[in-house]
Chain A
Amino acid sequence: MKVSFRQSGGFAGLVKGVDLDSSKMAADQGKQLEKLASASGIQGNTSVRTQAARDQFQYDIRIEQNNTVSQLSFDDHTVPAAVQPLLAYLKPQAKPMPLDSAKF
């Protein structure tokens, strides 16, 4: 399973991200990632944003498994409860990313 995460926006407009592949991680870490990604319930291609807010963080998570790609875009106030644990796992791993590399 491949999981990509991007964080952008906020007052500072920083773009950060991380790309993970469970098959290339230590077995226990890979299993943890797969468990969190499966529990997130991310399916299809969905965007859930707060319309009137400004300077919120934008989060994008892309999950690729068995040739199926699912992607969710959301912000601080529209984080689905099921996605929160995966977000908490991915955020500390995100590093500054040049705009070209941030593209999914």
Chain B
Amino acid sequence: MCQHDHPHQHSHDHYPIECVIPPYMTQHLTKSENPEIRERAIANLAAAAAFRAVRSTTRGFPSFMAQMSPSKGKYRQIYDAGKSPDMRKKLVRSEGDAKSTDDAVNEAYDYSGDVYDYYSQLFKRNSLDDKGMTLISTVHLSENDGSPLDNAFWNGEQMAYGDGDGVIFQRFTKSLDVVGHELTHGVQSFTSNLEYQGQSGALNEHFADVGGILIRQWKNGEAVKNANWLIGVEVLMPAPTRRGIRDMEHPGTAYTNDPQLGTDPQPADMRHLYKGSQDNGGVHINSGIPNRAFVLSAQALGGNSWENIGPIWFETMVQLSTTSNFQDCARISIQVATSHGAAAKKAVTAAWKKVGVSV
């Protein structure tokens, strides 16, 4: 039976929750002879209806979740969870405040500033929602049970970063491409808002990786001919069996026979598309396919990725709809590339063909 209570409800009580119960089952249970079962079934039906209302509201109006910045421009806030699961435990640095003595606080502040500058300078975008939304980050977040969090995520309104366990991962703020990835999830929630399941979800992950890598290459002045396409190198504890969290150029090779990570499961083409139910239907797995198409396109066009392939991919991202699949993405990116010249059209068409997506 569906339950919504959890130990940290106070800090997450405005999250939209997806609750899928076979309706016939819950309906049936409301007629149970057991009063306890009957009561819980009725409560769950009421709760599910309430959550559905929040979900449809936030899907239709993502700005519902945005917090406008006082300056209506670049404005950052960094919270320190203090190794607890409390996302808003203590506000430790706001826009213009002096540097902290805490590296994680400064990384979250500086890198979210880089991401703001990237979208502002290249796409004239004022923050994630293009309306000056405050960029809120929480660092030193733990798991619900207080253990170290091996993760970074976007919760629908802000970023959150764990410190890692010190065996596989170290603090997730260390990597600009990780911060760029999380914030690009935010940009997507105000544009294409690709549904986080199956191929649309894999595209959501793909565009987040693209955002992360482009921001890093732009910030470091890395031209395509010298670029590496690894995601999250800095957040991994070094080991001979791991090079990064994902390799956008060679999906499926970022780590191999690693005792803690296993072997990178990302497919490099459609023949190896994952069709199972793990990871929301493989959103972090199948993103390897469009990631490779993006890198092949970037390499064919050369120069600087943020100047050549970047605008084509950004325009594609904003044109997609919530349920777009790989073929839709290929079709639209080729259409967009056509407006950037014959060479761009040729490069993007060949890249999608190479990964097995024909248009």
| A3 CB within 8 Å of chain B | no
Given A11-B245, A55-B154, A99 contacting B260 (CB threshold 8 A): no
| A67 CB within 8 Å of chain B | no
Could you mark each residue 44-73 of chain B with 1 if its beta carbon is under 8 Å from any beta carbon of chain A, else 0? 000000000001001100000100000000
Interface residues on A, range: 35 or more
Binding site for B on A (CB under 8 A): 6, 8-16, 41, 43-58, 60, 76-82, 84, 88, 96-99, 102-103
A96: chain B residues at CB < 8 Å are 258-263
A46: chain B residues at CB < 8 Å are 1-2, 19-21
Closest to B260 in A: A96
A81: chain B residues at CB < 8 Å are 3, 5-7
A79 in contact with B144 (CB, 8 Å): yes
Binding site for A on B (CB under 8 A): 1-7, 12, 15-22, 25, 55, 58-59, 65, 143-145, 150-157, 169, 172, 178, 181-182, 185, 189, 196, 204-205, 208, 232, 245-246, 258-263, 265-266, 274, 276-280, 283-285
A50 in contact with B276 (CB, 8 Å): no
B278 in contact with A60 (CB, 8 Å): yes
Question: CA A43 – CA B26 in complex, angstroms?
Answer: 11
Partner of A50, one of B15, B246, B279: B15
A56 in contact with B6 (CB, 8 Å): no
A55: chain B residues at CB < 8 Å are 151-154, 182, 185
Given A50-B15, A57-B151, A84 contacting B7 (CB threshold 8 A): yes
Given A51-B16, A80-B5, A58 contacting B279 (CB threshold 8 A): yes
Closest to B29 in A: A44
